[in-house]
Chain A
Amino acid sequence: MAVGEPLIELRDVNKHFGALHVLRDIELTVGRGEVVVVIGPSGGGKSTLIRTINRLETVQSGSIVVDGRPLPEEGKELARLRAEVGMVFQSFNLFAHRTVLANVMLGQTKVRRRAKPDAERRARELLGRVGLADQAGKYPGQLSGGQQQRVAIARALAMDPQVMLFDEPTSALDPEMINEVLEVMRQLAQDGMTMVVVTHEMGFARSAANRVVFMADGAIVEDRTPEEFFRAPESERARDFLSKILKH
């Protein structure tokens, strides 16, 4: 897939949680249409990294540029930028007090100021795309984890974002539900969506990623194509990690 001009650029980003140095001198560029998968051991800063891109986490130093603009301070400007950056969470975070349909409509009406009928049409179309057209009237609590996560993807897509961030989207799911979510993500990648995905699903990394970023102890250790990375990881850290997870 052709990769366009840079959409996300992180330069020399550092973050500390007290004495803990959670992001170390991060340099990362994600091109338009590119699918970047971030893998690595737990506590290595993967989730923190992805959450800095829409400023759910602030950083102490360095610059983060999205679509040519540096991330603004908290406020209207940042809200506008976040609408361009879809996010899918490990714990789904569907609005518990709203129906599935309302979940997918809320951002459209409140942020994009779309008229209700237009928002509903788009929501139903997206729910159809993730295979949940018949669940529109239910509440999140009535759905399985895999279904909830697919609704969450539809909710993020409803904003027509330029990039989608996935923060361990399948880690809270039962094994038999993981594939239904990965399948939706694969489809998105094929359609040319720019994606940054934190995951432990190596199969997805192999088949859908343009690049694999391996993170450990807050730093990016490797940043290569999946073929290269999985065939011959350069660093001892990555070799160790892969040997541990690929054993079973």
Chain B
Amino acid sequence: MDVLTQNFSLYGKGFLGTVQLTVYASLLALALGILMAAFRVAPVASLRALGTGWVTVLRNTPLTLLFFAVMLGLPRFGLVLPFTVFAVIALGCYTSAFICEAVRSGINTVPVGQGEAARSLGMTFDQTLSAVVLPQAFRTVIPPIGSTLIALAKNSAIAGSFSVTELLGTYKPLNERGYSIIWSFVWIAVGYLVITLAISALFSLLERRWGVPR
């Protein structure tokens, strides 16, 4: 208990860092993931190819490699940003590939007739997707997206290795100050639990809220 009370501000900073990374990267991942899912079902072949390429590359490379690519690669093109922003980009892009596939599976659960009805009314592809298909797909993708975002929260620990303040990284200074490594980790684990259980709770709330009689 002493580890926590005596180093509360250190833990707090790490905890907030992880929360910050999780929230911003989640927003980026959701935006990019939904966009890429739309590309993957678009009637335009080049957009479909872009979506497929995006998912193939990002889903099949290690996240750590992606962190290296972003942190070392982007500055070479003159893009120098704070490490936290780089971490959000790496985490967000990586997770967007999984979000994309979850959303696409949801789109595939919406009966074809729904889209046909929308198109027969004269709605464009964008309108059909945003007003008819995605709202219905949304309901089935809530659980898998919840899981993906929980994975994102835990993956954010990698950012600690790249000089970003986050929860897991707090073990280093604690260790140097001579605290028990076991108790340091226990409190770190509790911190992650708070975040991941909060995400779980949020998603079960969404699931209950968006139930539609069929």
Contacts and interface: CB of A to CB of B under 8 A. Distances in A.
Interface residues of B, number: 22
Given A79-B123, A95-B114, 16 more contacts: A74-B43, A76-B124, A82-B121, A83-B122, A85-B120, A86-B120, A89-B116, A91-B113, A93-B116, A97-B139, A107-B121, A110-B121, A110-B127, A111-B121, A141-B212, A141-B214
Given A82-B121, A83-B121, A93 B114 contact: yes
A93 B113 contact: yes
B212 A139 contact: yes
A94 interface: yes
Interface in A93-120: 93-97, 106-107, 110-111
A130 interface: no
Contacts of B135: 97
Contacts of A111: 121-123, 127
Q: Interface size bucket, A side?
A: 20 to 34
13 contacts: A83-B121, A86-B120, A89-B113, A94-B117, A96-B212, A97-B135, A107-B123, A110-B131, A111-B123, A139-B213, A141-B212, A142-B213, A156-B121
A106 B120 contact: no
A196 B88 CA distance: 56
A82 B124 CA distance: 10
A54 interface: yes
Given A141-B214, A142-B213, A110 B123 contact: yes
Interface of B is mostly: helix
Contact of B122 (A80, A91, A95, A97): A80
Interface of B: 43, 111, 113-114, 116-124, 127, 131-132, 135-136, 139, 212-214
A110 B129 CA distance: 12
Contact of B214 (A79, A81, A96): A96
A87 interface: yes
Contacts of B127: 110-111
B165 to A, nearest CB: 42
A46 interface: no
Contacts of B119: 56, 79, 82
A159 interface: yes
Contacts of A141: 212-214
Nearest to A110: B127
Contacts of B131: 106, 110
Contacts of B213: 139, 141-142
A85 B113 CA distance: 17
